[in-house]
Amino acid sequence: MKKLFFVAVFALGSLTAFAQDTEEAQVDATETVAQDDFAEIATSELPEAVTAAVAKNYPTATINKAYVNEAKQYKLEVSLEDGTSGTLYADEEGNWIEQ
């Protein structure tokens, strides 16, 4: 009976470990921002579509820093009037990219 119990526990543990690996693989597959290095640029160098998207969707936001990668994706460090801050990602056409 002990052997049966240990076999069941071992099998359950193996399945749990496999499920976690599968879940991590799915998360990696859904990332849409290229993992290329971002280089800092002046906020004045941002495409007008990106600044317009920020103004439309986050009217109280201020762009503090901007970065671009080889895929022409933009990483924006923004702060809001209420003191909160965050990072946004957009393509050169002003479409938001999920991180």
To which residue do tokens 């941002």 refer?
46
Q: How large is the average pLDDT for residues 43-65?
A: 97
pTM of the model: 0.64
Band (69; pLDDT cuts 50, 70, 90)? very high
Helix (H, G, I), strand (E, B) or coil at 38: coil
* Residue whose C-alpha is closest to residue 70's, from 97, 32, 34: 34
